[in-house]
């Protein structure tokens, strides 16, 4: 186990709160780097993968880009741009919303569902490999992260 002080070559932190924030940011980067490596062979980014998962959860019901944006893990992501990139790969279809011509409906394609199915087992295994915690510790971490966000 490498402590955050060793990882970023810092002797000490101003206070435990500062250390916690730096530790979370560093750990986030660790996970994103590993996810990027996992998704790269599929031509996907973690954000594109997130969009595909959101669309799969719609169970065949089209949704709008704004609805996708609301559900994104990374709120700074540009859902329109992500959807367009996924459309170019034939992972999603876009169509004019029948109720509001200003809106665009998005639906995952069979090809998008296939790539998610292929990735699912790999993602689940990699999650277990990345998170070096017992099941009890993972549950405790989840509770603490929920509490942290208030």
Give 7-39 pLDDT, tens digit per residue. Answer: 999 988 999 999 999 999 999 999 999 999 999
Domain boundaries, position 104: 43-118
Task: Please answer whether residues 97 and 72 qualify as being in contact, where contact means their C-beta atoms are separated by less than 8 angstroms.
Answer: no
Residue 28 sits in the same domain as residue 54? no
User: Is 76:13 a contact under the CB 8 Å cutoff?
Assistant: no
DSSP designation for 64: E
Do 113 and 80 share a structural domain?
yes
**Is position 57 within any domain?**
yes
Residue 3 lies in a domain: no
Task: Record the tokens describing residue 131, joined without a space.
Answer: 């998170």
pLDDT for 97: 67
* DSSP notation for 66-96: HHHHHH-SSTTS-HHHHHHHHHHTTSEEEEE
Number of domains making up the chain: 2
Stated pTM of the model: 0.86
Percent of the chain with pLDDT over 90: 69
Residue 142 lies in a domain: no
Statement to judge: residues 35 and 67 lie in one domain: no
In whole angstroms, give the CA distance from residue 54 to residue 62: 11
Identify whether residues 27 and 82 lie together within a single domain.
no
- Do 38 and 49 lie in one domain? The reply is no
Task: Determine, yes or no, domain membership for 128.
Answer: no
pLDDT tens digits, the chain, 150 residues: what are they? 789 998 999 988 999 999 999 999 999 999 999 999 999 999 999 999 999 999 999 999 999 998 999 999 888 889 999 999 999 999 999 987 677 677 788 999 999 999 999 999 999 999 988 898 999 999 999 999 999 998
What is the rounded distance in angstroms from the CA atom of residue 2 to the CA atom of residue 60?
44
User: SS3 for 61?
Assistant: coil
pLDDT at res. 138: 95
pLDDT (0 to 100) of residue 76? 81
Q: Residue 32 domain-assigned? A: yes
Residues 104, 84: one domain? yes
Report the pLDDT value the prediction gives residue 133, as an integer from 0 to 100. 92
- Whether 53 and 74 map to the same domain: the answer is yes
- Which position has the token pair 């989840």? 142
Place of tokens 């799969």: 56
Q: What is the pLDDT of residue 77?
A: 83
CATH number, domain containing residue 57:
1.10.10.10
């Amino acid at each position: 186990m490498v402590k955050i002080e060793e990882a970023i070559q810092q002797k000490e932190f101003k206070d435990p709160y500062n250390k916690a924030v730096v530790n979370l940011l560093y750990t986030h980067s660790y996970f994103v780097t590993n996810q990027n490596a996992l998704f790269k062979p599929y031509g996907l980014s973690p954000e594109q993968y997130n969009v595909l998962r959101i669309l799969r959860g719609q169970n065949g019901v089209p949704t709008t880009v704004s609805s996708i944006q609301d559900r994104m893990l990374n709120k700074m992501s540009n859902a329109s741009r992500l959807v367009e990139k996924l459309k170019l790969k034939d992972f999603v279809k876009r169509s004019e919303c029948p109720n509001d011509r200003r809106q665009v409906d998005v639906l995952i394609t069979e090809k998008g569902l296939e790539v998610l199915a292929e990735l699912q087992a790999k993602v689940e295994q990699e999650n277990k490999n990345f998170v070096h915690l017992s099941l009890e510790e993972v549950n405790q971490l989840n509770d603490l992260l929920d509490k942290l966000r208030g």
